[in-house]
């Protein structure tokens, strides 16, 4: 009988024991290959099942519709805007210019406007990293938890019992007043708690956005916004990322690498997004993103909820050694516009793998007809939200009802929004005509300057002797001429000189005029870049300030587009993500929050000014008696916090400050002052431990003994 030798061993040696998944087992190579083949066949069988193939057909169908619609309308605009930003002519226009000869100079007007708009937006949105262009705050009336409502009823009942025990009659009006007072106190406590939850959640979200690359994505988004008809940010995206972590062991500390889910945000190229032809936003109709994935990208999707690891292995097995590219003619044009070598892109040297990520709403009956299990469809007439990843012929992810509100993790904005259209206008679109006229005038100016730079020479070749070189001219050159029998009195001169007219002044005037048109059409005046605005109101400092203020009105509309379509929905989605999947109870607060976009920066600056004014106005003995040291400390604490200072080192915490005041009172031999409680005190305490003062409960009425 032949000896069975495990994999990695030799006859006569003890078999090598393989540790797989924490379980010790011995196996030979044939058994391992047979098991892997069985798993592969099972994965292929799942991919060939009717539900999976039905979803794949839906994705391919919608992909063809969106691709054809974008190819005929949007793709030429994207490529033209990119070329204008880089200062390059369209191929057909460049060929026409070179056919007629002359200069092919390109005026970088579009590039200047795009850079100015990008710098303006980064400064307004704080995208440089100094300030975050967002914030959250609880709603004005947070949800009243059931336990708080029950406690209010219990407190009212306790008050009634105290009044009845004292023999004091309580009227309906007094009872109503007591209920309202207790309700207002409870709401104040809820608002304070909601603000604390919002502050902790805001710090958590800021940490997530920084670690997830949101700052870089926002800067790239701004560059797209000022270049293309639309700009897109995507997130949060869950990926398995390696992290370094220190672990304490018996021998000390050890640096280990572990993989964990990681939230990320990224810019999506407008070339890779394919919306429904009828959509006006990311949540209207279906949406497809075209990915170019490396093997590393696919490996990072393993272990993430919703992704089929067996299907990913099939993709890596079939396309991992050569890639998969669904070539479009736009790819070559895009590569040329970006300054890449089209041949290198077409050969796919990085072996990238194309994938389609489909987000759409599919009717239940359609899913049933395509083979989806009927038990998963509650109502055949209902639409179900789907996210499907298709790579070649494999579906690596298929999820139904991915979001409770049916939202997609994409956020789109345009420099100028067009109602009812997914694609708006960017600065290159707004100044396209001005760019074309300035280019034409610049070419004519260069050609005219070349012709008018020196005199033109006319030569009568009949008067030149054989071999005379008329193409060479230099000072003190001696010319030889043949006498003409027809020349009389110097007529019929052998050489004549004349000077062509220069039209430079007129052409420069045209260029300046259309550059001014570009300022008006784009809303980006040149004086925002430090250039001299010329005459008029720009001659004085106050006039220039008024012009800059008026110019800011145009950029405020762009900032409003970013706020409403990107920052606010992005922050709200991250908030709900943490509320749903977060495991920290200290971050659970009001379900509804108000996400502030770039207006948070303006509000923060205005609050800082008003806070300083309040500090100056209350810096007097009378107001200090009303506000108190603790109230003054609260204002100072908020002021120091907005200045990025360590507030605990500048302003003592509430408990420390309260202990200091108590010690000072005891050292001076004074009794600590207690807040006066009026009739019907509730015994409640504020969040900092200070007893409340009941100034609302009606005073006790003297009981009148009836005389019989």
Contact (CB, 8 A) for 267 and 237: no
d(CA 362, CA 674): 66
Most confident of 227-231, 625-629, 632-636, 651-655: 227-231
pTM of the model: 0.72
Maximum Cα–Cα distance for the chain, whole Å? 160
pLDDT confidence tier of residue 598, bands split at 50, 70 and 90: low
Query: What token pair was written down for 548?
Result: 């800059």
Question: What confidence tens digit (pLDDT) does each residue in 124-155 have?
Answer: 787 555 567 888 878 777 765 566 656 666 77
SS3 content of the chain, % helix, strand, coil (to 5): 50, 15, 35
Which one-letter DSSP state was computed for residue 429? H
What are φ and ψ of residue 28, in 5° steps? -95, 170
CB environment 70-87: b (16+ within 10 A), e (fewer): beeebbebbbbbbbbbee
Question: CA angle, 345 as apex, 340 and 349 as ends, to 5°?
Answer: 120
Please state which of the ranges 354-363, 530-539, 689-698 shows the lowest mean pLDDT.
Answer: 689-698
pLDDT confidence tier of residue 685, bands split at 50, 70 and 90: very low
pLDDT of residue 490: 53
d(CA 90, CA 406): 41
pLDDT confidence tier of residue 677, bands split at 50, 70 and 90: very low
Which one-letter DSSP state was computed for residue 526? G
Question: What confidence tens digit (pLDDT) does each residue in 272-282 have?
Answer: 999 999 898 99
Query: In 48-171, which ranges are continuous DSSP H helix?
Result: 50-73, 75-86, 91-100, 109-125, 146-165
- Over its C-alpha atoms, the chain yields an Rg (Å, rounded) of 38
Average pLDDT over residues 641-663: 73
Question: CA angle, 348 as apex, 343 and 352 as ends, to 5°?
Answer: 155
Q: Give the pairing of strands 456-459 and 495-498.
A: antiparallel
- Position 535 pLDDT exceeds 70: no
Please state which of the ranges 41-50, 191-200, 272-281, 547-556 shows the lowest mean pLDDT.
Answer: 547-556
Contact (CB, 8 A) for 409 and 399: no
d(CA 679, CA 524): 65
pLDDT of residue 12: 40
- Position 592 pLDDT exceeds 90: no
Question: What confidence tens digit (pLDDT) does each residue in 223-256 have?
Answer: 999 999 999 999 898 887 788 888 888 878 888 8
Contact (CB, 8 A) for 383 and 361: yes
pLDDT confidence tier of residue 560, bands split at 50, 70 and 90: confident
pLDDT of residue 589: 66
State the DSSP string of 454-511. Answer: S-EEEE-GGGSPTT--SS---TTPPP--PPPTT--TT-S-SEEEE-PPP-HHHHHHHH
Q: Which residue has the tokens 């109101």?
A: 537
- Position 686 pLDDT exceeds 80: no
Look at phi and psi of residue 348 and say left if phi exceeds 0, alpha if psi is from -120 to 50, else beta.
left
CB within 8 Å of 23: residues ≥ 6 apart: none
Q: How many CB atoms lie within 10 A of CB 96?
A: 11
d(CA 12, CA 332): 61
Average pLDDT over residues 206-235: 92
d(CA 27, CA 9): 11
pLDDT of residue 2: 39
* Nearest residue to 214 (alpha-carbon basis) of 224, 205, 227: 205
- Position 1 pLDDT exceeds 70: no
pLDDT of residue 603: 64
Contact (CB, 8 A) for 435 and 107: yes
Average pLDDT over residues 261-282: 91
Query: What token pair was written down for 618?
Result: 């209350």
Question: What confidence tens digit (pLDDT) does each residue in 36-95 have?
Answer: 777 777 778 777 777 777 788 888 999 999 999 998 889 999 999 999 999 999 988 998
Contact (CB, 8 A) for 295 and 323: no
pLDDT confidence tier of residue 287, bands split at 50, 70 and 90: very high
Q: Which residue has the tokens 């974008």?
A: 70
319: burial class by Cβ within 10 Å (0-12, 13-18, 19+)?
Answer: buried
**pLDDT mean across residues, the chain:** 76
Average pLDDT over residues 481-505: 76
What is the share, in percent, of the chain residues with pLDDT greater than 70?
Answer: 74
Query: In 126-229, which ranges are continuous DSSP H helix?
Result: 146-165, 172-211, 214-225
């Amino acid at each position: 009988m032949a000896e069975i030798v495990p994999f990695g061993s030799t006859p006569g040696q003890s078999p090598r024991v393989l540790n797989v998944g924490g379980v010790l087992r011995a196996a030979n190579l044939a058994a391992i290959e047979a098991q892997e083949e069985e798993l592969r066949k099972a994965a292929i069988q799942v991919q060939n099942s009717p539900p999976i193939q039905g979803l794949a057909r839906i994705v391919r169908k919608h992909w063809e519709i969106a691709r054809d619609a974008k190819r005929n309308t949007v793709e030429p605009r994207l490529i033209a805007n990119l070329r204008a930003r880089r200062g390059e002519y369209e191929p057909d226009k460049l060929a026409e210019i070179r056919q007629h000869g002359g200069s092919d100079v390109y005026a970088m007007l579009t590039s200047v406007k795009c850079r100015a708009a990008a710098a303006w937006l980064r400064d307004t949105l704080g995208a440089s990293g100094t300030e975050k262009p967002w914030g959250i705050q609880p709603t004005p009336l947070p949800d009243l938890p059931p336990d708080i409502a029950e406690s209010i009823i219990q407190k009212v009942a306790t008050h009634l019992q105290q009044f009845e025990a004292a023999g004091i009659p309580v009227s309906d009006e007094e009872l109503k007043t007591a209920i309202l007072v207790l309700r207002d106190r409870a709401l104040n406590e809820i608002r304070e708690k909601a603000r604390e939850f919002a502050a902790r959640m805001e710090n958590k979200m800021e940490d997530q956005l920084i670690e997830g690359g949101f700052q870089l994505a926002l800067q790239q988004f701004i560059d797209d916004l000022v270049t293309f008809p639309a700009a897109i940010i995507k997130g949060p995206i869950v990926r398995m990322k390696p992290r370094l972590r220190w672990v304490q062991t018996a021998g000390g500390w050890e640096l280990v690498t572990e993989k964990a889910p990681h939230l990320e945000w990224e810019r999506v190229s407008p070339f890779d997004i394919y919306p429904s032809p009828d959509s006006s936003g990311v949540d209207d109709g279906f949406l497809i993103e075209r990915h170019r994935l490396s093997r590393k990208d696919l490996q990072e999707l393993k272990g993430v909820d919703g992704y089929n690891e067996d299907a990913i292995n099939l993709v890596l097995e079939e396309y991992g050694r050569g890639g998969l590219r669904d070539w479009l003619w736009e790819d070559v044009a895009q590569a040329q516009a970006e300054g890449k070598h089209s041949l290198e892109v077409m050969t796919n040297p990085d072996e990238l793998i194309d994938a389609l990520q489909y987000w759409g709403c599919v009717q239940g009956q359609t899913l049933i007809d395509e083979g989806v299990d009927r038990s998963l469809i509650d109502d055949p007439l209902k639409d179900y939200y789907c996210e499907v990843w298709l790579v070649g012929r494999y579906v690596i992810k298929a999820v139904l009802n991915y979001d409770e509100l049916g939202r997609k993790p994409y956020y789109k904005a345009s420099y100028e929004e067009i109602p009812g259209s997914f694609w708006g206008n960017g600065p290159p679109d707004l100044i396209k005509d001005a760019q074309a006229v300035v280019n034409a005038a610049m070419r004519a100016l260069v050609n005219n300057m070349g012709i008018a730079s020196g005199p033109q020479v006319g030569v009568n070749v009949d008067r030149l002797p054989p071999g005379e070189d008329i193409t060479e001219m230099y000072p003190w050159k001696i010319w030889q001429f043949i006498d003409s029998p027809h020349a009389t009195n110097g007529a019929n001169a052998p050489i004549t000189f004349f000077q062509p007219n220069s039209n430079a002044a007129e052409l420069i005037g045209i260029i300046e005029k259309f550059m001014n048109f570009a300022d008006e059409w784009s809303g980006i005046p040149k004086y925002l870049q430090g250039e001299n605005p010329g005459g008029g109101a720009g001659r004085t400092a106050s006039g220039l300030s008024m012009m800059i203020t008026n110019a800011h009105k145009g950029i405020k509309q762009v900032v409003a587009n970013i706020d409403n379509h990107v920052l606010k929905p992005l922050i709200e989605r991250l908030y709900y993500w943490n509320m749903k999947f977060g495991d920290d109870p200290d971050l659970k607060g009001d379900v509804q929050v108000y996400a502030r976009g770039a207006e948070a920066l303006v509000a923060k600056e205005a609050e800082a000014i008003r806070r300083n004014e309040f500090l100056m106005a209350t810096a007097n003995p009378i107001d200090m008696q009303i506000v108190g040291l603790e109230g003054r400390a609260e204002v100072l604490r908020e002021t120091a916090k907005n200045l990025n200072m360590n507030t605990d080192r500048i302003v003592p915490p509430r408990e420390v400050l309260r202990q200091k005041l108590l010690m000072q009172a005891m050292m001076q031999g004074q009794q600590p002052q207690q807040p006066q409680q009026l009739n019907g005190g509730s015994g409640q305490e504020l969040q900092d431990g200070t007893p409340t003062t009941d100034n609302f409960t009606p005073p006790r009425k003297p009981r009148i003994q009836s005389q019989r």
